[in-house]
Amino acid sequence: MITYIEQLKKVWAVCKKDMRIYFLKAPVLIFGVLFPIFLFMAFGIGRKISAPELLPGLISMALFFTAAAVVPLIAPWETRTRTLERLVSSPVLISTIVLGDITASFIFGLIVAFIPVIVGIAIGVSIKAVYFFIPGIIVASFCFSSLGSLMSTPPADTPSNINMITTVVKFPLVFISGIFMPVKDLPLWGRVLSYISPLTYLTDLVRYCINGENYFYIWIDFIALLIFSLFFYILAVKLHQRNIPRRI
């Protein structure tokens, strides 16, 4: 038990370091906050779409982009500044470092994602299945943060290189995940691909929670996000363990 408590303290120490250093970095703010807002405004302005119809997509995009914005840049930045060597040489497991980075991104995603939630509630949108909505947002934030950590595993020391990888991954997921177009309206290949996107399940979950219907599918979405979270985290840890020696 003491070992687990000590590791959790180290996770929190890594998380606090990341929050202090990386939350206000320009790439994080641009690609994690401003860009998804402008992209969604370009989609929503001028179209006669009600707030309950717009809000699920906005929440999903905000969480997806922000939760995956911080953690992909930490490893290349620390590789370039040589701070990763000092961190790895300290008595801390690589899995602890990875979880600390993911936790920082997880918190950042939650903070930004609840901004459109608050705005939506203020303009009269009600969330009918709150008991599904909040756990779903929490699990999805961890899922997307773990995906961001997975995308940072290549042993590069240039954040722009990792940004290219994240862009190639994130943008296709946005357009096949039911945010701008219902999954049922996609061509067959798009529908098939949508089911391997964790963003699809978050969008469905949020939409069902706001509409207060299809509780069976909410459970499916929630379980799918849990499975994706576990898969992304385990794979990220394994790849970081293999590639960190190549960084230092």
Q: What is the pLDDT of residues 128-162, one digit of tens each?
A: 888 899 999 999 999 999 999 999 898 878 877 88
Give the span between the Cα atoms of 218 and 72, in whole angstroms.
Answer: 29
Q: How many CB atoms lie within 10 A of CB 69?
A: 31
End-to-end CA gap in the chain: 32
pTM passes above 0.75: yes
Q: Quick one: pLDDT at residue 43?
A: 65
Summarize pLDDT for 14-72 with one digit per residue, the tens.
998 888 887 777 667 666 667 667 766 666 666 666 777 788 888 888 899 888 888 88
Run of H or E including 88 = helix 83-89
DSSP notation for 46-62: TS---HHHHHHHHHHHH
Give CA–CA dist 34/14, Å, rounded: 26
Helix axis angle, 71-81 to 159-176, nearest 10°: 170
pLDDT digits (tens, 9 = 90+) for 165-212: 888 888 888 888 888 777 888 888 888 889 999 999 999 999 889 887
232, pLDDT greater than 90: yes
Name the burial class of residue 143, with classes exposed (0-12), middle (13-18) and buried (19+) by CB atoms within 10 angstroms of its CB: buried
The reported pLDDT for the residue numbered 32 is 62
* Tally of domains in the chain: 1
The answer to whether the CB of 66 falls within 8 A of the CB of 32 is yes
Structural domain of 165: 2-247
| Residue 27: predicted pLDDT | 65
Q: How far apart are CA 225 and CA 199, in angstroms?
A: 9
